A and B are shown apart, each in its own frame.
Chain A
Amino acid sequence: MEHTSLLERVLRGIALTLVVVFFMFPIVWIFMMSFQTNEMILRIPPQLVFEPTLANYTALITGKLQTAAGTLDIAFMRNLWNSIFLSVTSVAVALLLGVPAAYAFARHKFRGSEDIAFTLLSFRFAPALLVLLPLTLYFQKLGLANTYFGLIWVYQLICLPLILWIVRGYFEDIPADIEYAYRIAGHSWFATFRKIALPLAGPGIAAAGLLAFIFAWNNFVFALVLASADKQPVTVGALAFITSSGIQYGQISAAIVLSITPTLALALYAQRYLVEGLSLGAVKG
Chain B
Amino acid sequence: MHRAKPSGFRISKRVLPYLLSLPALLVCIGILIPFLTSVVYSFQRYRLSQPWARQFNWGDNYISFFTDPKFWNTLEISLLYAGITVGLELLLGLGIAMLLQKRSSLNNFISIMLLMPLMTAPALAALMWKLMTNPGFGVLSYLASLIGLQDFRWASSPSTALLTVVLVDIWVYTPFIMILLLAGLRSLPTQPFEAAALDGVPRSFVFFRITLPMLTPYILTATLFRLLDSIQQFDIIYAMTQGGPGDTLTVFQVEAYLNFFQSTNVGRSAALMIILWAITYFLSNIFIKNWLRLRERARGQA
Do A and B come together as binding partners? yes
Residue A239 at the chain B interface, CB threshold 8 Å: yes
| A218, closest chain B residue (CB) | B121
CB-CB under 8 A from B3, the residues of chain A are 186-187
Among B86-115, those with CB < 8 Å from A are 95-96, 99-100, 102, 110, 112-115
Interface residue tally for chain B (C-beta within 8 Å): 102
Q: How far is the CA of A153 from the CA of B299 in the complex (A)?
A: 31
CB-CB under 8 A from B276, the residues of chain A are 127, 130
A119 touching B28, Cβ below 8 Å: yes
B121 touching A190, Cβ below 8 Å: no
Which of B30, B129, B203 contacts A153, CB < 8 Å?
Answer: B30
Residue A84 at the chain B interface, CB threshold 8 Å: no
* CB of B55, distance to nearest CB on chain A (Å): 17
A29 touching B132, Cβ below 8 Å: yes
Among B133-151, those with CB < 8 Å from A are 134, 136-137, 139, 142
* CB of B38, distance to nearest CB on chain A (Å): 5
CB-CB under 8 A from B228, the residues of chain A are 125
CB-CB under 8 A from A42, the residues of chain B are 136-137
Q: Chain A, 90-112, contact with B by CB distance < 8 Å: what is the 0/1 string?
A: 00000011101101110110100
Among B173-222, those with CB < 8 Å from A are 174-176, 179-180, 183-184, 187, 193, 197, 203, 218, 221-222
CB-CB under 8 A from B163, the residues of chain A are none
B180 touching A278, Cβ below 8 Å: yes
B28 touching A120, Cβ below 8 Å: yes
* CB of A144, distance to nearest CB on chain B (Å): 11
Q: A108-B16, A271-B112 are in contact. Are A130 and B99 (CB under 8 A)?
A: no
Q: How far is the CA of A173 from the CA of B33 in the complex (A)?
A: 34
B34 touching A116, Cβ below 8 Å: no
A125 touching B218, Cβ below 8 Å: no
| B121, closest chain A residue (CB) | A218
Q: Chain A, 127-141, contact with B by CB distance < 8 Å: what is the 0/1 string?
A: 111111111011000
CB-CB under 8 A from B266, the residues of chain A are 133, 137
A274 touching B115, Cβ below 8 Å: yes
| A26, closest chain B residue (CB) | B128
Residue A69 at the chain B interface, CB threshold 8 Å: no
Which of B1, B31, B100, B273 contacts A133, CB < 8 Å?
Answer: B273
* CB of B258, distance to nearest CB on chain A (Å): 11
CB-CB under 8 A from A271, the residues of chain B are 112, 115
Q: How far is the CA of A260 from the CA of B23 in the complex (A)?
A: 32
CB-CB under 8 A from B128, the residues of chain A are 26-27, 30, 256
Q: A26-B132, A133-B256 are in contact. Are A138 and B34 (CB under 8 A)?
A: yes
Residue A148 at the chain B interface, CB threshold 8 Å: no
Residue B164 at the chain A interface, CB threshold 8 Å: no
Residue A235 at the chain B interface, CB threshold 8 Å: yes
B171 touching A239, Cβ below 8 Å: no
CB-CB under 8 A from B184, the residues of chain A are 283
Among A114-168, those with CB < 8 Å from B are 116, 118-123, 125-135, 137-138, 153, 156-157, 160, 164
Q: How far is the CA of A238 from the CA of B121 in the complex (A)?
A: 11
A46 touching B137, Cβ below 8 Å: yes
B119 touching A116, Cβ below 8 Å: no
Residue B116 at the chain A interface, CB threshold 8 Å: yes
B295 touching A238, Cβ below 8 Å: no
Q: A131-B38, A274-B115 are in contact. Are A284 and B129 (CB under 8 A)?
A: no
Among B248-262, those with CB < 8 Å from A are 252-253, 256-257, 260
Q: Chain A, 19-31, contact with B by CB distance < 8 Å: what is the 0/1 string?
A: 1101110110110
A281 touching B110, Cβ below 8 Å: no
Residue A172 at the chain B interface, CB threshold 8 Å: yes
Residue A41 at the chain B interface, CB threshold 8 Å: yes
A284 touching B301, Cβ below 8 Å: yes
Q: A30-B128, A44-B137, A126-B280 are in contact. Are A279 and B171 (CB under 8 A)?
A: no
Residue B37 at the chain A interface, CB threshold 8 Å: yes
Residue B239 at the chain A interface, CB threshold 8 Å: yes
CB-CB under 8 A from A284, the residues of chain B are 183, 187, 298, 301-302
Residue A249 at the chain B interface, CB threshold 8 Å: yes
B23 touching A249, Cβ below 8 Å: no
Among A235-252, those with CB < 8 Å from B are 235-236, 238-239, 242, 249, 252
Q: How far is the CA of A103 from the CA of B23 in the complex (A)?
A: 13
Q: How far is the CA of A219 from the CA of B239 in the complex (A)?
A: 12
What are 8 sample pairs from A and B whose C-beta atoms fall under 8 A apart? A1-B203, A23-B114, A128-B253, A130-B274, A134-B38, A263-B120, A275-B180, A280-B291
B residues at A contact (CB < 8 Å): 1, 3-4, 11, 16-18, 20-21, 23-25, 27-28, 30-35, 37-38, 41, 95-96, 99-100, 102, 110, 112-125, 127-132, 134, 136-137, 139, 142, 171, 174-176, 179-180, 183-184, 187, 193, 197, 203, 218, 221-222, 225, 228, 232, 234-235, 238-239, 252-253, 256-257, 260, 266, 269-270, 273-274, 276-277, 280-281, 283-284, 287-288, 291-292, 294-295, 298-299, 301-302
For the complex of A and B, 4 pairs with smallest distance between CB atoms: A188-B4, A218-B121, A108-B17, A104-B20
| 8 new A-B contacts at CB < 8 Å, known A1-B193, A260-B120 | A100-B21, A108-B20, A128-B232, A160-B24, A169-B299, A187-B4, A279-B221, A284-B302
